[in-house]
Amino acid sequence: MRIQGLIAATFSTFNEDGSLDLSLVPGLVDKLISEGVQGVFICGTNGEGPNLTIEERMTIAEAYVKAVNKRCLVLVHVGHPSIAEARKLAVHAKKIGADAISAVAAFYFKPASVNNLVDCMAEIAAAAPDMPFYYYHIPVITGMGIDMLEFLRLAEGKIPNLAGIKYTAATLHEYQACLNYKNGRFDILYGYDELLLPALAVGAQAAIGSTYTFAAPLYLKVMAYFREGKIAEAQQLQLHAINMIRCLSRYSPIPTQKTIMKLMGMDLGPCRLPLVSLSAQQEQEISHYLQEIKFAEVLKEVVSNAQ
């Protein structure tokens, strides 16, 4: 399995009381496909996977597979502190017809070594041996800053269905080394939206990110400019993306991004504790900031020029 282009790491869709609102999924999927994404990554960090029960995660996966209807890829995050629960999610993803599975390292009782991590991922991947499996590397969340090149060396012999890594870290030198391991044997998907252009420069062909859920056309144009050798133009658009991303650290990043979605006309509902939705005042501040940097104008111009 080789992925090209952008995969949108989608957000949760909740009612005001915190229950799932799956009625929003088809519209979100249609929007993403129309904007050119190649797939969706569900129940990960941005989808608040750790805040969901495994029954809810299964229900969400079913809703996405149905809404997508083979029009793009569906990657299901099955990571869980309990390997047994992760295996249940993997089996379910295979049963409903998802395209691939991914799992983050356990983040409470953490693997103690690369070997230990590989053994954990092998247990999860073996529950759906015919599905491509991507290890989800996100050390800023898990605290697992393990050598990913060594992971590939050890995992290739223990995880027959290992497709690659969802690489969400700023260590581009290691990312490049993983891309080139055994002449590019594995699919290494880049996970930091703000570093997409630098990742392209070292060989990235695909990326997974949260802001692709509401700004995919901008990033796709960055990729197009890069392929065409129009580096200055790519740099300028990447800077627009960075200016937008800078506001995410003002408050909690996921609630802030859901606010941006709401400001753009798609209210996906609140977040679950311990995440807290932005107040009306905070939403207004985000709105003013986006107006100052002309985010909507730039995005609209990119979309208009692509038509």
* Residue 42 tokens, joined: 């569900």
Please give the single-letter amino acid code of residue 258.
Answer: K
* Residue reference for tokens 């590989």: 118
What's the angle, vertex CA 136, arms to CA 224 and CA 133, rounded to 5?
Answer: 90
- Where does 192-254 show beta strands of DSSP type E? 206-209
Residues 6+ apart with CB under 8 A from 112: none
User: Residue 293 and residue 152: Cα distance in Å, rounded?
Assistant: 41
Any known ligand binding at 3? Answer: no
User: Residue 237 and residue 233: Cα distance in Å, rounded?
Assistant: 6
Long-range CB pairs of 138-141 (<8 Å, 24+ gap) are: 138/45, 138/104, 138/166, 138/168, 138/169, 138/191, 139/169, 140/168, 140/169, 141/45, 141/104, 141/107
The residues annotated as belonging to the active site are 136, 166
User: Residue 13 and residue 16: Cα distance in Å, rounded?
Assistant: 10
Which residues are annotated as part of the binding site for pyruvate? Answer: 208
Which residues are annotated as part of the binding site? Answer: 208
